Amino acid sequence: MIQCVHAMFYLAVWVAFAACSAPPVPLDDIIIEKTFEPEVCGRAVKVGDYVRYHYIGTFPDGKKFDSSYDRGSTYNVFVGKKQLIAGMDKALVGMCVNQRSLVKIPPQLAYGKGGYGDIIPADSILHFDVLLLDVWNPEDGVQSTTYLTPPTCVRKVEVSDYVRYHYNGTLLDGTLFDSSHTRLRTYDTYVGIGWLIAGMDQGLLGMCVGERRIITMPPSLGYGENGDGSDIPGQASLVFDVVLLDLHNPRDSIAVTNQVLPEPCPRKTATGDFVRYHYNGSLLDGTFFDSSYSRNHTYDTYVGKGYVIAGMDEALIGVCMGERLTITIPPHLAYGEEGTGSKIPGSAVLVFDVHIIDFHNPSDTTVMTVIHKPEECEKITKNGDFVKYHYNASLMDGSHIDSTHNYGKTYNIVLGANQVVPGMEEGLKDMCVGEKRHLVIPPHLGYGEGGVTDEVPGSAVLVFDVELVEVEEGLPEGYMFIWNDDVSPDLFTEMDVDLDQQVEASEFTNYIMRQVTEGRGRLAPGFDPYRIIDNMFSNQDRNGDGKITESEFRLKADEATHDEL
């Protein structure tokens, strides 16, 4: 029994030794063990393709005899054209980019009985750890795949267009070599005239603003055999992930779309008009850069005079009050190659959504339209009359300003006394009681550039609907008091109640007020009677001693420069 056990032990040791020292089992064909497979295989190697790959070459015992990594360069070669040992030529067919495989090649498909100098002995089985990085074919052209299409596409890139786009540039294995995003600046260039590598020149054609596209190109349309000398190796396929942000042509003019015209439109803007408008400003890809609404203030400017960018100057000619429109302006009619800095990049197309609030011309006068006029109109208003009227006030866009109806009483003024804006003074003249008018008042006859804080914007055209309710006839020009009856020849004596040969202010005031009360005289309507009388007294008190003497006292008929008696 013991001898039997010992015999079995020696047999096991011999078998183990024989297994360790035996030569490798001969291979009839290559063996491929995939050690890594990419999730997606966009393209598999075919005979005739050109490939770039890394490898480590070892013998079955693990001893390394060669490595592309040690040389710092991929191995680049055509497949299936006998530029490789037969086993590698065969193993590469069907591989995908980023696939990694362990390839075992028998000597008859490697270097055979002759070996390779002092590096590879005769009849050697070779192992290659292969990582495929790139594959292309001389017949390849540019491949473009759109993965995001904008909802609308009003225009596509054509030859000689100027574009602004962002990109990420990678090799076919995903290695990033460049990105406009990291520079925080778009790549800006003409298309189709040789300013770009040929593949990009072709790949950008037909793109829409907002479109995202993968552009893949072989090295013949990229950087060719030599690469770029830095990040792009020679014979490398290139992949660009592109988003188009902007597009124009140097021949472009402004484009006006989405017009909403008011009905009616009695007048359109002309050169020299002053326009108030609201706008939202964005880039062609929708990036917002400015808005008058955010400042709660219209943009106010003359048009046709070069006060705004050329494209806006052109677009604002011939528009109506209340009109809405979208204006697309190419950079040569906007802020050009330089842009404005942080908000508007150089060579950017601008899009403005505009709402015309109002406009006027410095030569405009008040526009008066009679809405209703009584059949009988015996008297019409004139300077000096005390008028009472109702009004509704608004801006040209219909925004409410004020109304006397809210207060339940009329607005009362003396015409010609500068108690209202000049346009209203003009609009209320020659009017009958009961008459209704529609007044449009330009700002230089309204509240001017300053407007009224929190009520009327600066440079705003005003609209008033007025109704004349009552008129008290004024006095002749230059008079603050007139007699209804004949003037007493003893005026001074009648005023001098205490008979001291001088009239004090109280005596003068009491006398004038008594004449008014008894209907023998009339003060100018619409003013404080006591202020009028004080003014009359001051004019008669020529030496300013607070008393009127008989030598100082004169009637209006005897005076050319004073508004009294």
User: pLDDT tens across 246-303, in order?
Assistant: 999 999 999 999 899 999 999 999 999 999 999 999 999 999 999 999 999 999 999 9
pLDDT at 559: 61
> Residue 193 corresponds to which amino acid?
I
CB neighbour list of residue 303: distance below 8 Å, 6 or more residues apart: 269, 271, 272, 273, 274, 275, 313, 316, 317, 359
- Distance between CA atoms of residues 210 and 88, nearest Å: 45
- Distance between CA atoms of residues 318 and 506, nearest Å: 65
CB neighbour list of residue 253: distance below 8 Å, 6 or more residues apart: 314, 330, 333
- Distance between CA atoms of residues 428 and 387, nearest Å: 9
What are 143's strand-pairing partners? 216
3-state secondary structure of 311: helix
**What are 138's two structure tokens?**
């001389």
Which phi and psi angles does 549 have, rounded to 5°? Answer: -95, 165
- Distance between CA atoms of residues 474 and 479, nearest Å: 9
Nearest to 103 by CA among 60, 65, 64, 63: 60
CB 321 within 8 A of CB 301: no
**What are 434's two structure tokens?**
């009961």
What are 100's strand-pairing partners? 36, 131
- Distance between CA atoms of residues 471 and 434, nearest Å: 10
Nearest to 219 by CA among 154, 284, 137: 137
pTM of the model: 0.78
Per-residue DSSP letter, 287 = -
Per-residue DSSP letter, 120 = B
Per-residue DSSP letter, 138 = T
**What are 339's two structure tokens?**
């842009």
Nearest to 246 by CA among 351, 353, 325: 351
Which phi and psi angles does 563 have, rounded to 5°? Answer: -100, 65
User: Which DSSP string do the residues of 326-370 spell out, in sequence order?
Assistant: EEEE-GGGTTTTTTTSSSS-TT--EEEEEEEEEEE-TT---EEEE
- Residue pLDDT tens, the chain, 565 long: 333 333 333 333 333 334 444 455 577 899 999 999 999 998 999 999 999 999 999 999 999 999 999 999 999 999 999 999 999 999 999 999 999 999 999 999 999 999 999 999 999 999 999 999 999 999 999 999 999 999 999 999 999 999 999 999 999 999 999 999 999 999 999 999 999 999 999 999 999 999 999 999 999 999 999 999 999 999 999 999 999 999 999 999 999 998 999 999 999 999 999 999 999 999 999 999 999 999 999 999 999 999 999 999 999 999 999 999 999 999 999 999 999 988 999 999 999 999 999 999 999 999 999 999 999 998 999 999 999 999 999 999 899 999 999 999 999 999 999 999 999 999 999 999 999 999 999 999 999 999 999 899 999 999 999 999 999 999 988 888 988 888 888 888 889 899 899 999 999 999 999 989 988 989 989 899 999 999 999 989 899 999 999 888 887 666 654 444 5
